Chains A and B, each alone.
Chain A
Amino acid sequence: MTNLAIKAFVKIEEGKIYSNGELVYSVEPEIHGREFLKNAYMNLGMNYPKFYKMDELSKLALLCSEVMLRRNPVHEMYESEDISIFVSNSSSSLDSDIKHQESIANVDDFYPSPAVFVYTLPNILIGEIAIKYTIKGEQCFFISEAFDVAFMHTFVQNVLVNGEAEVAIVGWVDYFENTYKAVLYTVEKTTDQFLMNHTLENIKLIF
């Protein structure tokens, strides 16, 4: 009997990283998000210099993906075009938007740059994940007030059951000023009995 299962899930929030529910990294909560992301990257020993060029939203997404894919390396188990990525958040790319706006606010101090402007789109974080792990399948970025469990559950189920992808990386990545939360989980077909099934209740638990 084939089921859809969640084999890995990662949550990053308030200076803590949880992998499949287990605390794997934490710092003092007073530390700024920017510092936390840098420290977590070094702690993970990621060795990926592109990280430093990213904005905080993409850094958060990369860290979350790295921890999750270490737990369940779907990028090594499936064909790249069969891996899909569906992420949502509330603030879109507002953190970078404000930086870009600052660079154009004053006609006498006018310095817009491609390096900042490119991050004024939330789906860039999907691109960063796709580049690092070579993922070429279906993808979409949604904006909602909170993670829409019912919608994402139905949508991902539909994509996998229809064979439009073999595995989905799904979740929520939000970073604005010093407030951040990221939750990513994998969904794939399995015949294994003893795993977390792809259900509304389980998704709520992960968050």
Chain B
Amino acid sequence: MKIFVTAKNIISSLGFTSRENMKAVEMQKTGVTYIDQLQGNAKPFYGAKINWEDVESRFSDFENSSNFTATEKLIILSVKDVISQNEGFDAGSPSTVFIISSTKGNIDLLEPQSFFQFDPKRILLWEMGEVITKYFKNPNKSIVISNACVSGVVAINLGKKLLEEDHYKTAVVVGVDILSSFIVSGFQSFKAISQGVCKPYDIGRDGINLGEACATIVLKKGREDQKGIQVLGGSSSNDANHISGPSRTGEGLFISIQKTLRQGNIKVSEIDYISGHGTATTFNDEMESIAISRAGLSAVPANSLKSYFGHTLGAAGVLESALSIHSLEGNMLIATFNYDRNGVSKPLNIIKKTTKKELKTCLKLAAGFGGSNASVLFQKV
């Protein structure tokens, strides 16, 4: 049985559709800026902010804005976009399942100014999930995954699995997280945020940029002879080493890469492009280079998209997969913005200049707090 990606959307600092985002990235535009007006007490930081006036104006075109939280508005807009792309898929059908990936969902509701706007129950991620399925008149419970920064990739892998089990015909996989003082102040306490636009894998890297985004990928079962982007396989793993730092030997990510290649029946030599996790912290990028090297993939053109979008946490796995799929479809290797010189002990083949190249198979990587790792394989057929 083959599982295909049949529609995608990205709402981020760089646009409201995945095509718009891809165009911006091709033109080497970054969504990262200096942000000093975030609600709450977090200090100013470099991050990638969505245009919320634009969100409001788009949303209030068809709906009462005050009934939905910021995060919910993004999800609804994103899913509406994929619905418009997809030749009659019914979001309300019992054979459609929603899978939502988010690290903190409506956590901004903990801020005092939100106290009287929404029922505090909305902070619960499953409650947010219910708002979404109710909105799209879907009779199933949404499946909510909250597994740090690997949530998005894990959600895509779950979607494939559920379709293979034949319970559903369509999986709508949504990844979302918004900027909040809650999240920003937390990363600031780790001293993990860069002093400018981040530099993934670079010798001068000094930390992450945080970003906000919502991305949606629609998965469907396809015929044996169907053309398009297939999800070949995926896996997750744990380093069993540390809760907030990655394994020095890239243990968990290496395990996941091998499992994913085995599952997808793909040889190392068949991988055309690696969409890395590349958060631009000293430790993550170093760990990733070791894992990729152990897997024999050091020569494969690789990038991180986080210097365009920031680290979008629960959205990252879905957003970056959607963009990587655009790369496959357009045969375009996207440069790692702001990368200049190698800064990892096992040098990677980092894409420095956006280049046209025949591409067929992409490996997407993710790693997260809690020692979690995940990967997924996409192939253009």
**B189 and A130 contacting across the interface, CB-CB below 8 Å:** no
- Quick check: is B353 within 8 A (CB to CB) of the other chain? no
| Contact A140-B145, Cβ < 8 Å, known A81-B237, A130-B239, A130-B240 | yes
- Quick check: is A142 within 8 A (CB to CB) of the other chain? yes
Identify which of B123-131, B273-281, B342-350 touches chain A.
B123-131
The count of A-to-B residue pairs whose CB atoms sit within 8 angstroms is 151
Q: Helix, strand, loop or mixed for chain B's interface?
A: mixed
B residues in contact with A117, CB < 8 Å: 185-187, 189-190
Identify which of A13-21, A23-31, A32-40, A107-115 touches chain B.
A107-115
**B369 and A118 contacting across the interface, CB-CB below 8 Å:** yes
Number of chain B residues whose Cβ lies closer than 8 Å to a Cβ of chain A:
55
Measured CA separation A148–B162 after assembly (Å): 15
Taking each of B42, B164, B240, B368, which has the highest tally of chain A beta carbons within 10 Å of its own beta carbon? B240
Residue of B nearest to A128 (CB): B243
Identify which of B52-60, B146-154, B223-231, B318-326 touches chain A.
B146-154
Residue of B nearest to A84 (CB): B236
Residue of B nearest to A154 (CB): B165
**A94 and B123 contacting across the interface, CB-CB below 8 Å:** yes
Measured CA separation A123–B150 after assembly (Å): 10
| Contact A126-B238, Cβ < 8 Å, known A97-B182, A117-B186, A142-B143 | yes
- Quick check: is B103 within 8 A (CB to CB) of the other chain? yes
**B239 and A92 contacting across the interface, CB-CB below 8 Å:** no
**A121 and B112 contacting across the interface, CB-CB below 8 Å:** no
A residues in contact with B182, CB < 8 Å: 97, 100-101, 104, 120
Distance in Å from the Cβ of B251 to the closest Cβ of chain A? Answer: 7
Measured CA separation A9–B243 after assembly (Å): 26
**B237 and A123 contacting across the interface, CB-CB below 8 Å:** no
Measured CA separation A123–B154 after assembly (Å): 13
Distance in Å from the Cβ of A177 to the closest Cβ of chain B? Answer: 13
Measured CA separation A137–B129 after assembly (Å): 27
Residue-wise interface mask of A (179-191) relative to B, using a CB-CB cutoff of 8 A (1 in contact, 0 not): 0000000000000
Measured CA separation A58–B107 after assembly (Å): 20
**A136 and B240 contacting across the interface, CB-CB below 8 Å:** yes
**B237 and A127 contacting across the interface, CB-CB below 8 Å:** no
- Quick check: is B221 within 8 A (CB to CB) of the other chain? no
Residue of A nearest to B43 (CB): A110
- Quick check: is A134 within 8 A (CB to CB) of the other chain? yes
Measured CA separation A107–B111 after assembly (Å): 13
**B110 and A112 contacting across the interface, CB-CB below 8 Å:** no
Measured CA separation A107–B243 after assembly (Å): 29
Residue of A nearest to B313 (CB): A121
**A136 and B251 contacting across the interface, CB-CB below 8 Å:** yes
B residues in contact with A100, CB < 8 Å: 182, 186
Task: Identify which of B126, B127, B185, B369 contacts A124 (C-beta below 8 A).
Answer: B369
Distance in Å from the Cβ of A150 to the closest Cβ of chain B? Answer: 10
- Quick check: is A141 within 8 A (CB to CB) of the other chain? yes
Distance in Å from the Cβ of B303 to the closest Cβ of chain A? Answer: 26
Task: Identify which of B107, B124, B370 contacts A126 (C-beta below 8 A).
Answer: B370
- Quick check: is B252 within 8 A (CB to CB) of the other chain? yes
**A141 and B147 contacting across the interface, CB-CB below 8 Å:** yes
Measured CA separation A148–B145 after assembly (Å): 13
- Quick check: is B244 within 8 A (CB to CB) of the other chain? yes
Distance in Å from the Cβ of A72 to the closest Cβ of chain B? Answer: 19
Name B153-181 residues within 8 Å CB distance of A.
154, 158, 161, 164-165, 167, 181
What are 26 A-B pairs at a CB distance below 8 A? A81-B237, A92-B124, A101-B110, A101-B182, A104-B181, A105-B112, A106-B41, A107-B41, A118-B243, A118-B244, A118-B369, A121-B103, A123-B147, A126-B147, A126-B370, A127-B370, A131-B240, A131-B371, A136-B237, A136-B252, A138-B235, A139-B236, A140-B236, A145-B126, A158-B161, A164-B263
Other contacts beyond A98-B110, A139-B147, A158-B164: 4, CB < 8 A = A81-B255, A124-B369, A135-B238, A143-B124
